[in-house]
Amino acid sequence: MPASNIRAAFIRNALEFAEKISQLEGVRRIAIVREITTPMKNPEILCLVVTVSEDAPIKPIADAGRKLKGRMQSMPTAAGADVFLASETHEYLGRTCSYRECHPRAACQGSQCNGTFVNNDFHVFTLEKEVIQSSPVEVFPQVIIRSRIPDDLRRALEEHQKKMLPGKPVGKQYPRRQNTNAIVTDNWSNPNAKGLYDAQWPDEPATKALYEEGRQCGGCAFFAPFNEDWGLCCHRESRHNLETVFEHFTCPKQQETG
């Protein structure tokens, strides 16, 4: 089976599953996460997140999940599927039980569904709140795309949305929460710069002279102010490039605006 056919089968199964369980009681949201939302050519496991209301009956969702697992397993590449459950406050609840009858068995290896059809094997796997809250792709109640996803999946989602909600375009949300920058905006981000400022550049009389002339960061063309006191040095040639510095700081590369 060529790689593109494997992905196509994964996508088709994901959307069929979503369509089926979107009609079940208490199902609030269905998302696709992990492998097929990335350019992975030979995905092995189809992962879906189903957000449910507190009183949602889980057995029908687990039943659909079990059938999905069966279909994935019968693919030539013997793939798997996981249906993760989440609360409306984006907490991970566990994955659906794989058995028709849910009761403790040796094969469950310490995981406990105990008839609830929710397998809380957190020691094997857990899903971060972040992934639940801003999953790369949401299928239901409407299609929302939050990540750069492969074209095959994007096209299939657009078709799906046309079929389910004709006239309503696919939602696209810039994934703001995935930004990993941690910018300091109210203090020195590098203690060495603070050291220079506190000691007034003891080994650099020329730099100290600049400071005294008033040629300071606050007046530098490469200073991006965060507030009245602090800003980011954006001067690539400055030794303080990408540091948060005090507006009255300076360096040998200070460049007056205008």
Give the three-class secondary structure for 101: coil
The label of the residue with tokens 């279909």 reads: 71
**Which residues of the chain form contacts with Zn ion (CB under 5 A)?**
97, 102, 113
Task: Closer to Zn ion by CB, 49 or 118: give it.
Answer: 118
Q: Rounded to the nearest whole angstrom, what is the least distance from the CB of residue 102 to Zn ion in the complex? A: 3
3-state helix, strand, coil in the chain (%, to 5): 30, 20, 50
Q: Rounded to the nearest whole angstrom, what is the least distance from the CB of residue 128 to Zn ion in the complex? A: 24
What φ, ψ does residue 208 adopt, rounded to 5°?
Answer: -65, -35
Q: Rounded to the nearest whole angstrom, what is the least distance from the CB of residue 119 to Zn ion in the complex? A: 6
Question: Around Cβ 196, how many Cβ atoms within 10 Å?
Answer: 22
Greatest pairwise CA separation for the chain in angstroms: 81
Task: Closer to Zn ion by CB, 99 or 201: give it.
Answer: 99
Task: Closer to Zn ion by CB, 65 or 218: give it.
Answer: 65
Q: Rounded to the nearest whole angstrom, what is the least distance from the CB of residue 90 to Zn ion in the complex? A: 24
Q: Rounded to the nearest whole angstrom, what is the least distance from the CB of residue 123 to Zn ion in the complex? A: 16
- Strands of 92-96's sheet in order across: 118-119, 92-96, 80-86, 45-52, 27-33, 137-140, 144-145, 171-172
Task: Closer to Zn ion by CB, 49 or 113: give it.
Answer: 113
Task: Closer to Zn ion by CB, 103 or 129: give it.
Answer: 103
Is 93 in contact with 86 (CB distance < 8 Å)? yes
